[in-house]
């Protein structure tokens, strides 16, 4: 197998490279953030140059990226080479580009609800695939000494953005009317009470949209079908919700447990201060995060609501590192894990606090659940397994497509 990869050192790209090397695949990696663009002549030129060169005198069999790239898809379409896109972000506005229907595309989406939305809309180039873990890397890092790394020990930890950094788009709507402010706050608070259904987009009506557009205009892409409502709901409101929800959860944890337990927050904004919480700032995905997950008695997953049903990468990595996962409800968990046996799901902040209190005082039960969660990853969610599934779909489907061309 010969694979041309475009990326920008995304989460997981080094794990993909290791998987390919382990399997004996040959690949070329092109590191260029411009691959995310819808149109880019620099990427066009790099694509053509590498395709013409091939690899060790052989042609490429496919092109791969994390997340979807319209410019890569269009280049693959020109020469009829399979384009494999593995999505790990949501929202992913590029998925609403007209290019998603290109017959070269094999787009693997980790969020089943989003996959079903596109599939039911007539998009036949999308497939469902949960995210994966490099279990070999976890074993190397955590083998004999992982659980003894005191630097990362905590009783409860959360790793993730608080969405209060400079890219907080919601604050740019400060000029809207008091009515609109009240309406947006009300629907955000309503969404906070509901897991498993993302309805913010449906509640943005004409009067509200007009006010938002007047104060901070956004435009849809001319080559796509995303709506103004989609942009505001996913990039403005969902992130504002995440800011409030994550802050409130950490504040409650600090109040309830901060005096007796170590509560760690790992987030890009290292200036954020919350009573009872140790803000440890950002950590490196490859070299530090597995130690955090393995050395935290409880690891929280607080999912960005734009992820409608999917299992976030953080949750997979927690289990892969042998950590104990406590997460909000996400429907896709039930396809691969047994709540109460492999992971713990909470239904509200109060439920989360009660379950933290319980599992901080029931070590053997907590350790058993963490062990089971790790086993589920080894059984079905390694990169070796996932890419075997992906390549089977791509090249078997490709044969069928050629048969009927």
Q: Mean pLDDT of successive 10-residue segments in the chain (405 residues)?
A: 91 94 96 92 96 96 97 97 96 94 98 96 97 96 70 96 81 94 97 94 95 95 92 96 97 97 96 96 94 97 96 98 97 98 97 98 98 98 98 82 48
Q: Which helix H or strand E contains 137, and what residues bound it?
A: helix 135-142
45 and 126 in a single domain? The answer is yes
Q: How far apart are CA 66 and CA 109, in angstroms?
A: 10
pLDDT for residue 157: 98
Q: Is position 70 within any domain? A: yes
Q: Is position 197 within any domain? A: no
Question: Which residues, 6+ apart, have CB-to-CB distance to 185 below 8 Å?
Answer: none
Domain enclosing residue 11, as ranges: 2-132+383-404
Q: Is position 149 within any domain? A: yes
Task: Return the axis-axis angle of helices 206-215 and 178-192, rounded to nearest 10°.
Answer: 110
Q: Is position 93 within any domain? A: yes
270 and 322 in a single domain? The answer is yes
Strands 296-301 and 154-159: parallel
29 and 155 in a single domain? The answer is no
Q: Is position 322 within any domain? A: yes
Residue carrying structure tokens 């104990």 = 324
Q: How far apart are CA 269 and CA 44, in angstroms?
A: 36
Q: How far apart are CA 110 and CA 3, in angstroms?
A: 22
pLDDT for residue 134: 97
Q: Which two tokens stand for residue 253?
A: 């944890």
Q: pLDDT of 368-387, one tens digit each?
A: 999 999 999 999 999 999 99
**Coil, helix or strand for 13?**
helix
Beta strand extents in 72-189 (DSSP E only): 83-87, 105-109, 126-128, 154-159
pLDDT for residue 164: 80
CA atoms within 13 Å, Cβ hemisphere of 3:
23
Q: How far apart are CA 248 and CA 301, in angstroms?
A: 14
Q: How far apart are CA 343 and CA 315, in angstroms?
A: 10
153 and 282 in a single domain? The answer is yes
276 and 398 in a single domain? The answer is no
Answer whether the bond into residue 91 is a cis peptide, omega within 30°: yes
Q: How far apart are CA 29 and CA 382, in angstroms?
A: 21
Q: How far apart are CA 77 and CA 36, in angstroms?
A: 17
pTM greater than 0.85 (yes/no):
yes
Residue 161 sits in a domain of what CATH number? 3.40.50.2000
Q: How far apart are CA 312 and CA 201, in angstroms?
A: 21
Q: How far apart are CA 251 and CA 239, in angstroms?
A: 18
329 closest CA partner among 353, 312, 354, 313: 312
pLDDT for residue 98: 96
Handedness of CA 249, 251, 256, 260 (dihedral sign): positive
Q: Is position 38 within any domain? A: yes
List, as one string, the DSSP characters of 260-311.
TS-EEEE-S-TT---TT-EE-----TTTTHHHHHHHEEEEEE---TTS-S--
pLDDT for residue 397: 75
Residue carrying structure tokens 């509560």 = 263
Q: Are 325 and 301 in contact (CB under 8 A)?
A: yes
pLDDT for residue 144: 52
Q: Is position 226 within any domain? A: no
Domain count, the chain: 2
139 and 49 in a single domain? The answer is no
Contacts 24+ apart (CB under 8 A), 74-82: 74/99, 74/102, 75/43, 75/44, 75/47, 75/48, 76/102, 76/104, 76/105, 77/102, 77/103, 77/104, 79/51, 80/104, 81/51, 82/106, 82/394, 82/395, 82/398
User: No. of H helices and E strands in the chain?
Assistant: 15, 12
123 and 150 in a single domain? The answer is no
244 and 352 in a single domain? The answer is yes
Residue carrying structure tokens 């439920």 = 351
28 and 147 in a single domain? The answer is no
Q: Are 126 and 119 in contact (CB under 8 A)?
A: yes
């Amino acid at each position: 197998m010969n694979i041309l990869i475009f990326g920008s050192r995304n989460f997981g790209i080094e794990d993909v490279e290791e998987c390919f090397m382990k399997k004996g695949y040959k690949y070329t990696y092109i590191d260029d953030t411009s691959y995310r663009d819808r149109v880019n002549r620099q990427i066009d030129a790099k694509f053509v140059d590498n395709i013409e060169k091939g690899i060790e005198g052989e042609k490429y069999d496919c092109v791969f990226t994390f997340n979807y790239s319209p410019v890569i898809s269009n280049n693959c379409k020109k020469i009829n080479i399979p384009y494999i896109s593995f999505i790990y972000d949501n929202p992913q506005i590029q998925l609403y580009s007209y290019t998603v229907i290109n017959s070269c595309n094999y787009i693997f989406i980790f969020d089943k609800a989003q996959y079903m939305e596109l599939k039911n809309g007539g998009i036949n180039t999308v497939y469902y695939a949960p995210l994966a873990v490099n279990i070999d890397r976890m074993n190397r890092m955590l083998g004999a000494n992982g659980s003894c790394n005191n630097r990362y020990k905590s009783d409860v930890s959360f790793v993730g953005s608080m969405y209060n950094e400079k890219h907080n788009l919601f604050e740019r709507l400060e000029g809207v009317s008091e009515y609109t402010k009240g309406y947006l706050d009300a629907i955000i608070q309503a969404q906070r009470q509901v897991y498993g259904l993302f309805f913010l987009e449906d509640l943005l009506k004409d009067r509200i949209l007009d006010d938002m557009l007047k104060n901070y205009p956004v435009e849809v892409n001319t080559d796509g079908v995303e709506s103004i409502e989609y942009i505001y709901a996913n990039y403005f409101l969902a992130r504002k919700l995440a800011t409030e929800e994550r802050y409130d959860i950490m504040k409650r944890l600090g109040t309830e447990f901060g005096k007796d337990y170590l509560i760690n927050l790992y987030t890009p904004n290292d200036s954020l201060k919350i009573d009872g919480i140790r803000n440890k700032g950002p950590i490196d995905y490859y070299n530090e995060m597995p130690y955090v997950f393995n050395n935290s008695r409880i690891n929280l997953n607080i999912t960005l609501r734009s992820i409608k049903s999917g299992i976030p990468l953080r949750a997979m990595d927690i289990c892969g590192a042998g950590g104990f996962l406590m997460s909000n409800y996400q429907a896709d968990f039930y396809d691969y894990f047994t709540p109460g046996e492999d992971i713990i799901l909470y239904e509200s902040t109060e439920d989360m606090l009660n379950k933290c209190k319980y599992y901080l005082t029931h070590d053997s039960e907590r350790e058993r659940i963490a062990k089971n969660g790790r086993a589920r990853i080894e059984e079905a969610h390694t990169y070796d397994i996932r890419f075997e599934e992906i390549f089977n779909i791509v090249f078997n489907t490709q044969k069928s497509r050629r048969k009927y061309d």
